[in-house]
Chains A and B, each alone.
Chain A
Amino acid sequence: MTQSKAHFEFKDIHVEVEGKEVVKGVSLTINHGEIHAIMGPNGSGKSSLSNALMGHPNYTITSGEARLDGKNLLEMSADERSRAGLFLAFQYPLAIPGVTVANFLRAALKSHRGKDADMSDFRKLLKAEMSDLSVDPSFATRYLNDGFSGGEKKRVEILQMSMLKPKMALLDETDSGLDIDALKTVADGINRYHNDQNAILLVTHYQRLLNYVKPDFVHVMMNGQFAKSGGPELALKLEESGYDWVEKEVLQKAEV
């Protein structure tokens, strides 16, 4: 692949999990400052794609390419991908008992910066980011995701993103499990983070997040492939009519 101006790009990605191919050749180019959304039915491969791009050990990329600012992600370990600027907000964040949110973030920041942050600077930063996301200060000393509600976990994922300031953020159903106010808070957080130097690829089932975080492009994933791409209006149409019509279109194309 020649060096391109694209910020984040992957080509013909195939992913296997438990010996089964669940992502069957998807490609996408994302430029600086863009927001892309992936929508699609349950089980269509959205999380498998995001996890595989991040380097999850259970999701093997059997072929394809992925680059961030020209750097080949696929030859990097997960921690290297993170330090290269890739971030994944998980659909189901795990609990890590015994590791506090503050210690976790401090270790993550240290690994990104190559040195430990000054303790008081770190505290200030954490406090500010937590307050912006309406995360109670007591969460700093709680064990990561341990006993957190669904919505609290999602907020803490976005907290991690706003502390690490990645170049490329993959957000896997960050809106699910959020109440109406929390959705607004999290969306504000995403918008604060977003600028023309980074980009976002978000996975969602609902238009409601896209009302706040406005995508430039929407892609529909079905059976491990991108079945259709379009602008923000595509999301509205999906919300109204579901996925059947997309499936029919795909079948028709296949018949031709």
Chain B
Amino acid sequence: MTTMNKTDVEYTIPEVTPELERGPVWLRDQRRASREAFNVAEVPPRGLHLWRYTDPKTFLYDRDAVADTAYSENYDIVEKIELDNLKNGNIAALATDLGGRDIKLNGADELAKQGVVLSSLSSAVEHHHELVENYLYRLVNARTGKFEAMNGALWNDGIFVYVPDGVTVDKPIHLLRESGLARSSQFPRLLVVVGKNAELTLIDEYGGGSLDENEGISHANGAVEIFGLEDSRTRYVMLQRQASAMKLYLTHRAQIERGASMLTVPLAFGALLSKENFGVTLNGEGADSNMYGLLFGSGYQHFDNHTLHHHAADNTSSNIDFKVVLKDRSHSAYTGLIRIDNDARTCQAYQENRNLLLNEGVRADTIPELEILNEDVQCSHGATIGPMDPESVFYLEARGIERDEAIRMIVSGFVDHTLKTVPDDLRQRIGTFVAQRLERI
């Protein structure tokens, strides 16, 4: 085994690291500050609530002991599907991102006619430096946490999407991010700015990674920053279908201004272990955020998810519906925080987490957290954890439907509402993931 699979690595980012030298002065400063923050920050103690279910040392590996390697074959299949989708006009553009290094763009020229930018972050640093300097590191940075600082120092390249004021991108932009094979690590990064009264649907798909634990784990540590300016409408679908020996840490933060709406759809099917953190700050009056999460665990998969809805302005509304289906020996922990600032009046915030357990031996934890600093709110949260209702199964059986098929239908029904929020071209593929997991029950 390589050192990176041990959990007692005390890795610090060396002073001379190629990534730290990349880009203009402001960027190098940010990277160095991130390096510094990473190196001095303690490994978060397990007792800390966000680390109760996952050992933080999982994400602390000797980054220099690993290299980029080849990419899985499956990647090409998906790329082909999505290129067909592009050709058939189902999506507006496709960007493929190999481990935060090779970034290929398809359809970006067409988008440019509308003033929409889809480019690598490195190119955006050159060509749109004001935008990038203004927004990058604002939501996910050295202060966010140790692992966010790690990404902030070590990201190689990433993706930048910009939609100018008043522009509607009428089809989804699809990002395909591929992790390397065993014993590699990647630091994907995404920056999105949706201008005033602009509209964007973005699919952010994470695949690849090591297929076999015996050959070694592959790691990814991702950061996503999304800005929705006044009256913008953004839909962000994050699909995680990484390979079975992959460990993922990902922090997503979005901030939406007055009158803006944000739909966030985290979908997770893959990876051996993943810790994903989705947060939206409602930063302007009347902003509205919805999250529809779905994860489906099987085998020994471990999922640790957080959501945050932070109400920082009056009359903002948020809603979370996070669904979990678990089978075999999988485990999910969900922590959902609703924070309502002292000076954010008449807000509405709802949160629901439902966990469907398909067999004994799975484990689901759910922790709602409320930090409500003012009285003038409507807020509710609920959580359920339990097996499938035998009465529902009986109802379908009583109509002649065999038990296994009845269970499949009920699970599909459980996730149906979430999948309705996903653009057509993706929904079918996701339906297939669900179906595959329901083949053996």
Contacts and interface: CB of A to CB of B under 8 A. Distances in A.
Interface in B353-409: 389-392, 394-403, 405-406, 409
B424 interface: no
A164 B396 CA distance: 13
A243 interface: no
Contacts of B389: 94
Given A97-B417, A99-B412, A99-B413, A112 B395 contact: no
B416 interface: yes
B167 interface: no
A92 to B, nearest CB: 10
Interface residues of A, number: 29
Given A94-B391, A104-B409, A107-B409, A82 B397 contact: yes
Interface string B308-344: 0000000000000000000000000000000000000
B413 A112 contact: no
B410 to A, nearest CB: 7
A56 B394 contact: yes
B414 interface: yes
A111 B390 CA distance: 20
A79 B395 CA distance: 9
B416 A98 contact: yes
Given A57-B394, A78-B394, A94-B392, A99 B409 contact: yes
A79 B407 CA distance: 13
Nearest to A85: B400
A202 B414 CA distance: 33
B400 A112 contact: yes
Interface in A75-100: 77-79, 81-83, 87-88, 90, 93-94, 96-99
**Interface centre among A83, A97, A99, by most B CB within 10 Å?**
A99
Given A94-B391, A107-B405, A99 B400 contact: no
A60 B417 CA distance: 35
A29 interface: no
Interface string A38-59: 0000000000000000111110
A111 B405 contact: yes
A122 interface: no
- State the majority secondary structure of interface residues on B: helix
Interface string A212-228: 00000000000000000
Contact of B399 (A56, A58, A104): A104
A93 B392 CA distance: 9
A90 B395 contact: yes
B20 interface: no
Given A56-B394, A57-B394, A98-B417, A107 B412 contact: no
A77 B413 contact: no
Contacts of B403: 77, 79
Given A57-B394, A104-B409, A107-B409, A97 B400 contact: no
B132 interface: no
Given A57-B390, A107-B405, A97 B414 contact: yes
B415 interface: yes
B384 to A, nearest CB: 13
A48 to B, nearest CB: 14
A86 to B, nearest CB: 9
Contacts of A162: none
Contacts of B390: 57-58
A104 B405 CA distance: 11
Contacts of A103: 409
Contacts of B405: 107, 111
A98 B414 contact: yes
A81 B401 CA distance: 11
A93 B395 contact: yes
A108 interface: yes
Nearest to A79: B397
B398 A54 contact: yes
Nearest to B409: A99
B416 A164 contact: no
A143 B413 contact: yes
A160 B400 CA distance: 11
Given A57-B390, A107-B405, A97 B399 contact: no
Contacts of A112: 400
A163 to B, nearest CB: 9
Nearest to A84: B400
Contact of B400 (A56, A57, A79, A98): A79
B399 A160 contact: yes
A167 B391 CA distance: 24
B398 A94 contact: no
A33 to B, nearest CB: 23
Nearest to B419: A98
A101 to B, nearest CB: 12
Contact of B396 (A57, A87, A96, A143): A96
21 contacts: A55-B394, A56-B394, A57-B390, A57-B394, A58-B390, A58-B391, A79-B400, A82-B399, A88-B398, A94-B389, A94-B391, A96-B392, A96-B396, A96-B410, A96-B413, A97-B417, A99-B410, A107-B399, A107-B405, A108-B399, A111-B399
Given A57-B390, A79-B397, A111-B402, 17 more contacts: A55-B398, A56-B394, A77-B397, A79-B401, A82-B397, A82-B400, A87-B398, A90-B398, A93-B395, A94-B392, A97-B414, A98-B410, A103-B409, A107-B396, A108-B400, A111-B399, A111-B401
